[in-house]
Amino acid sequence: MAGEMEHLGIPGSTYRIQFHGGFRFAHALAILPYLHDLGITHLYASPIFKSGEQSTHGYDVCNYGEIDPKLGGAEAFQQLTASMRDLGMGILLDIVPNHMRADSCNEWWRNLLENGSSSPFAAFFDIDWDSDLPNVGRKVLLPILGAMYEEVLESGQIRLVVSEGGIWVAYGSHRFPTSAYSYREVLKETLHHLGADTPESLLIRRLLADPVSVVPSKEVDILKTNLNHLSASEPFNEALGKALAVLNGQPGIPESFDRLDAILQHQHYRLSWWRIGPEQIDYRRFFDITELVCINSQRQDVFAASHRLLYSLIEGKLVHGVRVDHPDGLWDPKHYLERLNELWPNQADASPYAPYIVVEKILSGREELPRSWPVAGTTGYEFLNQVNGIFVNSAAKDSITEIYKWFTDKRKEFGKLLYESRLKVLRLSFANQNCCYR
């Protein structure tokens, strides 16, 4: 198709597609001819990298290096882009450089919780490892409990479970990896429920006698490998079940939870009541959403790791432009955008913006997009706000204001109310956000 690739980077008209488990790449493929007939030049696609299992939006990235299997995976995405190429259509991809999902689906986060500040991914996340808050120290605070820690613990809601080849701390739908100390304690208790001279007990004794590895993550790997080996034994599994029953305690007997409490205290994280999160959280979040942990995209190694697959998609001409989510959350938006521009192998394009990058920058009032940012523009919220104004009858302002005052019994001037509301959010939702960017 003549001139197809020359102008593919400049969207003429876009069509937003929100991918999720119920609308996969195959569904988009089926409507391509219709969209092409409408005159659509580019699909504006929601994030496609692997996200949370139940995610319906894709902004909770678990793995920047994998196209989400629940959307169809890499093969289905290539089929979609091949058909788009035949029609002369391109893709504007939504990317999320500021945060990831704080969940066990995130291998980087899982490794960090397992190994703490010694994890190779410790610097990937924006965490204050030198917090002076009580009982935090060099641990990651996880404010996910529905009540105070002691209450949740002694009600039996926190348990140790063995699954997927490892030992986990389970609370509701949450699963958290455990430290080497946990493996040793579980194996030590399991030993009490095995025969004295069985092959299983001999192996466990040898493991417990081994000196601690100088590399904590290696010690956990060794213990995991042996746990998987032992799990092939029925006597071991029976003894393990009895050991977990003892360690997990019995509601109504507070002292039965002492050993579980000791194990929890030896983790590289601390479970706490969700209400203390704003005051004691020691990692930067996306706004005040605890499940989304911010990453240090300003670091070269983090940028490289989180953009490697994106680069290959751009290089293979499977992605023709990007929309950057929440650039204001980045350490240095301008520097990030400059590096993002460098992902495009051929800058010598006939278009005025090569590569084509837009940002989700919500401009307020007379605020302008920084001219130093190397982007084509914003996603247009400020324009949408003006368009929405067409549907607002400004002549009714006084009447609506009086109705509001009567209904809420508030008589404050709007500017003062706005200031107080913003201050309240800063003091409550972001009380400890000065912890980060270190």
Q: How far apart are CA 34 and CA 185, in angstroms?
A: 61
> Helix (H) and strand (E) counts for the chain?
16, 16
Q: What is each CA distance from 340 to 61, 62, 95, 231, 304, in whole angstroms?
A: 18, 20, 11, 47, 10
Can you list the domains of the chain with their CATH numbers?
Answer: 4-98+297-389 (3.20.20.80), 107-286 (3.30.1590.10), 394-435 (no CATH)
Of the listed ranges 156-165, 238-247, 304-313, 377-386, the one predicted with least confidence = 377-386
Q: What is the mean pLDDT of the chain?
A: 89
pLDDT value, residue 437: 43
* SS3 state of residue 106: coil
pLDDT band for position 216 (cuts 50, 70, 90): low
* Mean pLDDT (whole number) for 328-348: 88
Cβ neighbourhood burial of 128 (10 Å; 0-12, 13-18, 19+):
buried
Report the range out of 19-28, 126-135, 284-293, 349-358 with the highest average pLDDT: 19-28
> How do strand 289-294 and strand 99-101 relate by DSSP bridges?
antiparallel
Strand partners, 222: none
What is residue 301's predicted lDDT score, i.e. its pLDDT?
Answer: 97
Please name the residues in contact with 120: beta carbons below 8 A apart, sequence gap of 6 or more.
111, 217
Q: Is the pLDDT of residue 148 over 50?
A: yes
Q: pLDDT of 375-420, one tens digit each?
A: 999 998 888 888 998 999 989 999 998 998 899 887 888 888 889 9
72-76 own/partner pairs: CB under 8 Å, 24+ apart? 72/24, 72/25, 72/26, 76/24, 76/25, 76/26, 76/29
Query: Which two structure tokens, joined as six digits, stand for 278?
Result: 């704003």
In percent, the amount of the chain with pLDDT more than 90 equals 70
Specify the pLDDT at position 12: 83
What's residue 438's pLDDT? 42
Would the pTM count as exceeding 0.85?
yes
Q: Rounded to the nearest 5°, which phi and psi values hold at 357?
A: -130, 130
Return the bridge partners of 160, or none: 169
- Single out the residue of 18, 14, 179 nearest to residue 91, CA to CA: 14
Q: How far apart (Å, rounded) are the C-alpha atoms in residues 188 and 245? A: 14
State residue 278's pLDDT score.
78
Query: Cβ(178)–Cβ(168) under 8 Å?
Result: yes
Average pLDDT over residues 361-380: 90
The average pLDDT across 266-273 equals: 94
Paired residues of 99 in beta bridges: 294
Residues 6+ apart with CB under 8 A from 186: 160, 162, 167, 240, 243, 244, 247
Beta strands in 227-355 (DSSP E): 269-273, 285-286, 289-294, 321-324
